[in-house]
Structure 1
Amino acid sequence: MFVFELKRTSCCMAFLCIIQFGDAMARIFLLTVLMVLSMQEKSNVAGYITACYFTSWSALTSPTQVRLPVEDVDASLCTHLMYAFASLDIQSMSVVALDPFHEYSRAGMTGLYEQFNQLKSKNPNLKTLLSVGGQSSGRAFSQLSSSKLSLQQFAQNTMKFLRKHGFDGLDIDWEYPAAETKDKFTFLLKILSEEFSNEATNKEPLLLTIAGAGGEDKIRAGYDIKAISKYLDYIFVMTYDFSGSWNKVTGFDSPLRARNDSNFSPVYNVQYALNVWINGGADRSKVIMGLTGAGASFTLRNITDHNVGAPVQDGGGPPGPLYQQKGRLMYPEICQSLKKGWTRVWDEEQQVPYAYRGDQWVGYDDQQSFGLKVQYVIDEHLGGVMFWELSFDDAKNYCKNGAFPLLHVVKQTFANHPMDSNKTSETGSTDAVSQSSDATEENPTTPSHRTITTDSNNGTVHFVTSLTKDTGVKLKSTVVFDQVDENIGEAYSPTTGEFTAPVSGFYLFTIQVMATYGSGLEYELKSEDSAYSTRVRVESAWSTSSGTAVFHVQKGHKVKVIKYYGPDGALRQSPWSRFSGFLLRES
């Protein structure tokens, strides 16, 4: 993905330079600014994310043998850490601590919030978010979202709270918006996104994410997917809890794929749930697959029938020895069971394992299934994975595979497959995953530069990209901003890549290289309105790297990529690239 985020001061100076000093000076200034911005962006390349939830109760109230103090968290395994949960307080119009005594610091005691955010000293790239909501939070969210004034006040108070305690963003866990509150949910995210963006004048904007439903009925009822996608940095899809104590037959907590069996709904699997979001208009780069260390446990009716789909007794399996949750066994408990003689079976159809012994049965995830799920994220060009929750991943090494064995698989699999973001900004399904009934042609490939609009009343330009929120830039003259994208696919020659100007004006052009082809790539651009061509050098061929050039182009005239040079300087065919044009000033 190419993130094009001009800071307010730089953008204003660039446009004023065009206006006051003419095209030649403007070209030099723009290219200088963009080179600096490009260098800044390269130092923050956005690869796959691994978002991990940490729960306050695992730190404080869990049984001793599975307690997870903050200091035992391996901060190197996650790119984002969510602290769950904070409360939503209607009276104060803010998020507040669920357990102020333990979470706030005071004289002689470092609170959990401070301990949690000190993990960034172990991983300087780590982002921390405060998750607000959880089960039974819907009523409070609905009340809060009844007016714009209350939401703006909530946003202001919450931003102060997050900054004070050292968090980098807010995670909204509204379980779940329904048909009657769908518009309120969208409005909530819109106001938060706007307020977060406005607050970040001279600092990095706070992140905004949600924990989204995995069941199709809940997704379709409560989420205006296209609308909310543009306000969010990430959508953590809870693609688990597909089976549980309500089942009449054995089934998996989080199967990757559907089962060809009339006892199983085709919608309760990871692949289908993710496609409902994608086909509904969510940006692939923002769709995050949910993973968990919890397994669905059952008591069999007949100990001789232990296949997937075998009849079970009501209420799920008995509590495990560590976490003591009826109908759920966590990964460390399953490891212990396997060491005591349970039989493990791999289910190829749904690509997850199950285990049984006597009348007990559990469908779960392990290192093998995690590897396949992470590979699915890579193959489908999604944004990454989310894990619920850290204490479920054998932090105490019961499995004798080292602490956090599941998350180590995630980290290693992503490390072995650096992000190739040639399709991460797309919406809509691929042929391999087009299960959802709403898979239509209404969601074509979406350019990574999402929307650009101009407010003619006050001269403010707004642009939204795949990884940035709406950013307003106040200009001192009327400026038209527009964009046309041309993709140079693998089946095309560089000479077929062309940009047609929608209006006459001064354009900025960018080249994105969407695959890891090394460094020193060069593209030669030629405008119909110019006697010369410009060679654009792309220093690093990875997701956010780009080259830039500036031309004046008449309406209807073209700018083309006419040649591509490899790192050795030889003329080559182009790797997968995106060629984009931005109208800086209409003439």
Structure 2
Amino acid sequence: MASFYLLTVLMVLSVQEKSKVAGYITACYFTSWYAQTSLTQVRLPVEDVDPLLCTHLMYAFAYVDIPSKSVVAADPAKECSNAGMTGRYEKFNQLKSRNPNLKTLLSVGGQGSANTVFSQLSSSLLSLQQFAQNTIKFLRKHGFDGLDVDWEYPTAETKDQFTSLLKVLSEEFEKEGTNKDPLLLTIAVASGENKIKAGYDIKGINKYVDFIFVMTYDFSGSWNKVTGFDSPLRARNDSNFSPLYNVQYALNVWINGGADRSKVIMGLTAAGASFTLKNISNHNVGAPVQTGGGPPGPLYKQQSRLIYPEICKYLKEGWTRVWDDDQQVPYAYKGDQWVGYDDQQSFGLKVQYAIDEHLGGVMFWELSFDDSKNYCNNGAFPLLHVVKQTFANHYIDVTATGTPEAGSTDAALHTTGATEENPIETASSTPSHKTVTVDSNNGGTVHFVTSLTKDTGVKLKSTVVFDQVDENIGGAYSPQTGEFTAPVSGFYLFTIQVMVTSGSGQEYELKSEDSAYSTRVRVESAWSTGSGTAVFHVQKGHKVKVIKYYGPDGALRQSPWSRFSGFLLRES
């Protein structure tokens, strides 16, 4: 029987779409002020950052020092190591010991005086060259892999200066990196069409940078007269809303202007736009609001902004969540309070959009806005786990090397470019290798054997995790409750087979404890190897179960005899 399931898995995986993009990036911003904030409920020290959720970590922000013509630390006493004290820069870059493929960048600029300072710096070619050379020394000294320039924002008067700054940095980085990996150069840029066209020579910029982080958020705020979303994916089918202020439109301005899709990175955030309604009986999108936005939340304590864990707390206190089909994001309300935000469902759709549009990946502002302390009861950093899972599902190139017959004792699966330490890697990464075998001496148990790129060289052996008929390793599956409990954190393939002749067209709704939304899987024919499948990332000890069953007519019904089986594809 186990070999029958092996055949099922191989055939299902062999028809999955292969990745079209070799290595999406997930660039995550870490902010120095939330590493030491007095708001302990949202404080995020370096030690609490999960380096396996991001491919690039950005440390925000450093300053530009005009007299020395260099990047300098904003808080040298705490950020730079000295007198036996390990500074935050060193701790930040030590995260690479837990993820050797991680890239760290120092972000310079931000809001405030950065525009004036960058303008002064780029007033002469000599100043720019000195700045680039001094900055290289600073980055190398502190262990960073690159520089992120956040000039908010170049104008029509400084457009050419911005391009010149990037040109000189790129040239000096390339020259210094002749015999080693050159430093990376990225930029954080505006998402409003007027700002983009006024301040950016897109074709010129595109030649000099590795990635363009488009800040596709803050489309709504305290200035609004009606309710709206902070980061809607698409335009609203409503003449009262501008078609310009959404993720899709902003990204297309950059792409149509000459930016390479592979360099364009979609901005994500976990801060929602909050409002106080004028009339509590009108809580729709576009409802009139009072000026100034909503009151501060209990954690972040910022006017007109609520971060994701605050919204989770409110939802538990009786706020109503509504999904908006037009713009593919949710909102929530209670009484006169309203917030338009992002959650796991909308993040999944946005990442899928980035995949479909062949973008380079996503950027997340900022780590403390995700639920690092598990207020939402979905595990730490639930939004970034959705990003990682969605990219990983599309990045993996899993193909069967042959078509084994039922009862065969050996078959192979290859996962290109991904490792257990970091499943979302570039094409240049050393590929891991997976072999699926049937152990005829142990009751036909199917094993996934994975060679890991770890210093220990240890090979982990994970068996079929559960099957309500055959093996049930560690009691992971409970026939009484119909629940699967993950024995280890990882990516699991779930299969459902209807074991009666009338199985065609059945649908099962699966829910993971780690996901805010459910997934429907369809079984096209009974007793078929092409059974319904779904992939979830599940944290150790968390559950997955079938919550609903639908007949071919779409009506809720009692499930027929079926097998609910799962296989550990990859530990994380």
Give the alignment's TM-score, normalised by structure 2: 0.66
Match of residue 76 from structure 2? 100
Q: Hey, what does 2:312 align to over in structure 1?
A: 335
Moved more, 106-115 or 282-291: 106-115
Q: What one-letter code is carried by the residue in structure 1 that aligns with 2:392? A: A
- 1:539-558 to 2 correspondence within 5 Å? none
User: Residues 463-509 of structure 1, C-alpha deviation per residue, up to 9 Å, x if partnerless?
Assistant: xxxxxxxxxxxxxxxxxxxxxxxxxxxxxxxxxxxxxxxxxxxxxxx
Verify the 8 A CA contact 2:22 2:395 in the aligned structure 1: no
In structure 2, the partner of 1:395 is: 372
- State whether residues 519 and 540 of structure 1, in contact with CA within 8 Å, keep that contact through their aligned partners in structure 2: no
- What is aligned with 1:534? none
Q: Does 1:299 align with 2:269?
A: no
CA distance in 2, matches of 1:540, 1:246: 49
Q: CA deviation at 1:109?
A: 1.5
* Partner in structure 1 of residue 192 of structure 2: 215
Say if 2:29 and 2:366, in contact at 8 Å, map to a contact too: yes
The one-letter code sitting in structure 2 at the alignment partner of 1:322 is L
User: Equivalents in 2 of 1:196, 1:46: separation in Å?
Assistant: 24
Residue 252 (structure 2) aligns with = 275
Determine if contact 1:517/1:541 at 8 Å carries over to the other structure.
Answer: no
* 8 Å CA contact 1:214, 1:237 repeated in 2: yes
Provide the rounded CA distance (Å) in 2 between the counterparts of 1:244 and 1:341.
Answer: 24
Cα separation, 1, equivalents of 2:271 and 2:184: 27
Structure 2 residue 177 is matched with structure 1 residue 183: no
For residues 399-414 of structure 1, what are the structure 2 equivalents within 5 Å?
Answer: 399-414=376-391
- Of 291, 311, 328 in structure 2, the residue corresponding to residue 314 of structure 1 is 291
The CA RMSD over aligned residues, in Å, is 1.8
Q: Which amino acid aligns with 2:227?
A: T
1:470 is aligned to none
Alignment pair present for 1:346 and 2:323: yes
Q: CA deviation at 1:518?
A: 8.0
Matched AA of 1:92:
S
Task: Give the unaligned 5+ runs of structure 1.
Answer: 1-44, 420-514, 521-538, 546-587
Residue 146 of structure 1: aligned partner: 123
Write the deviation string for residues 170-220 of structure 1: whole angstroms up to 9, x where unpaired: 000000001110000000000000000000121100000000101111111
State the one-letter code of the partner of 1:126: L
CA-to-aligned-CA distance 1:276-311 (integer Å, 9 cap, x gap): 000000000000000000000000000000000000
Q: Could you say which residue in structure 2 is the equivalent of 1:450?
A: none
**What is the deviation of 1:230?**
1.1
Partner residue of 2:356 out of 355, 363, 379: 379
Counterpart contact for 1:242–1:268, Cα < 8 Å: yes
111, 114, 120: which one aligns with 2:96: 120
Instruction: Give me the whole-angstrom Cα distance separating, in 1, the residues matched to 2:316 and 2:309.
Output: 11
Report the 3-state secondary structure (helix = DSSP H, G, I; strand = E; otherwise coil) of the residue aligned with 2:395.
coil
Q: After the TM superposition, which segments of 4 or more aligned residues of structure 1 sit over 6 Å from their partners?
A: 515-520, 539-543
> Alignment partner of 1:179: what SS?
coil
Residue number in structure 2 paired with 1:496: none
| 1:366 matched residue in structure 2 | 343
Task: Report the equivalent of 2:30.
Answer: 54
3-state SS, counterpart of residue 268 of structure 1:
coil
Distance 1:233 1:62, change over 3 A: farther
In the TM superposition, what is the alpha-carbon distance from 1:363 to its structure 2 partner? 0.1
Match of 2:522 in 1: none
Q: Is the 8 A contact 1:238 1:290 kept in 2?
A: yes
SS in 2 for 1:415: helix
Counterparts of 1:306 and 1:517, CA distance in 2: 49
Q: Tell me the CA shift for residue 262 of structure 1.
A: 2.1
Q: 1:274 to 1:133 in 2, by over 3 A?
A: same
Structure 2 gaps, min length 5:
1-20, 403-413, 418-425, 429-572
Q: CA deviation at 1:108?
A: 3.1
**Identity, % of aligned pairs?**
81
Shift of 1:61: 1.8
Q: Does 1:236 align with 2:213?
A: yes
Q: Deviations over 1:311-346 (max 9, x none)?
A: 000000000010100000000000000000000000
* Paired residue type of 1:86: A
**2:265 partner SS:** strand
Give the 3 Å change call, closer, same or farther, for CA 417–330 of structure 1 in structure 2: same
Residues in 2 aligned to 1:544 and 1:275: alpha-carbon distance in whole angstroms? 26
Partner of 2:66: 90
Give the direction of change, closer, same or farther, for the CA distance of 1:401–1:541 in structure 2 (3 Å limit): closer
CA distance in 2, matches of 1:276, 1:416: 28
The answer to whether the 8 Å contact 2:23/2:427 transfers is: no
Which residue of structure 2 aligns with residue 159 of structure 1? 136
In 1, the alpha carbon distance for the partners of 2:416 and 2:86 equals 44
Counterpart Cα distance in 2 of 1:418 and 1:408:
15
Give distance in 2, aligned partners of 1:309 and 1:516: 45
Structure 1 pair 111–540 and aligned structure 2 pair: CA distance change class (3 A): closer
SS at match of 2:209: coil
Alpha-carbon displacement from aligned partner over 1:447-471 (angstroms, at most 9, x marks no partner) = xxxxxxxxxxxxxxxxxxxxxxxxx
- Give CA deviations for 1:493-549 in whole Å, capped at 9, x if unaligned: xxxxxxxxxxxxxxxxxxxxxx887899xxxxxxxxxxxxxxxxxx9988858xxxx
Q: Is the 8 A contact 2:231 2:247 kept in 1?
A: yes
Contact residue 29 and residue 57 of structure 2 kept, 8 A: yes
Give the aligned partner of residue 440 of structure 2.
none
The secondary structure found in structure 1 opposite 2:34 is: helix
- Distance 1:50-1:167 versus aligned 2 partners, 3 A rule: same
1:202 aligns with 2:202: no
Could you report, residue by residue, the CA deviation over 1:205-245 in whole angstroms, capped at 9, with x for unpaired residues? Answer: 00000001011111111110011011000000000000000
Alignment-derived partner of residue 69 in structure 1: 45
Separation in structure 1 between the aligned mates of residue 81 and residue 222 of structure 2, nearest angstrom: 40
**Distance in 1 between residues matched to 2:416 and 2:386, nearest whole Å:** 26
On the 8 A contact 2:278/2:288 being kept in 1, the answer is: yes
* Distance of 2:398 and 2:132 partners within structure 1: 40
C-alpha distance in 2, partners of 1:174/1:66?
A: 27
TM-score (norm 1): 0.65
State the match for 1:263 in structure 2.
240
Compare the two structures and name the one with the higher helix fraction.
Answer: 1
Deviations 1:353-374 (A, max 9, x none): 0000000000000000000000
Q: Is the 8 A contact 1:518 1:541 kept in 2?
A: no
* Aligned CA distance change for structure 1 residues 317 and 71 (closer, same or farther; 3 Å): same
Equivalent residues of 1:62, 1:323 under 8 A apart: no
Separation in 2, partners of 1:60, 1:366: 26
**Which amino acid letter does the alignment assign opposite residue 341 of structure 1?**
G
Aligned AA for 1:170? L
Alpha-carbon distance in 1 for matches of 2:275, 2:315: 16
> What SS does structure 2 have at the residue aligned with 1:295?
strand
**Structure 1 residues 377 and 518, CA, compared in 2 at 3 Å: closer, same or farther?**
farther
| Counterparts of 2:378 and 2:341, CA distance in 1 | 17
Please give the alpha-carbon distance, in whole angstroms, between the structure 1 residues aligned to 2:208 and 2:319.
Answer: 47
Aligned to 1:116, the other structure's residue is in SS state helix
- 1:165 Cα deviation from its structure 2 partner: 0.2
Partner of 2:10: none
- In 2, Cα distance between equivalents of 1:359 and 1:544: 50
Indicate conservation of the 8 Å contact 1:367/1:406, yes or no: yes
Q: Which residue of 1 aligns with 2:87?
A: 111
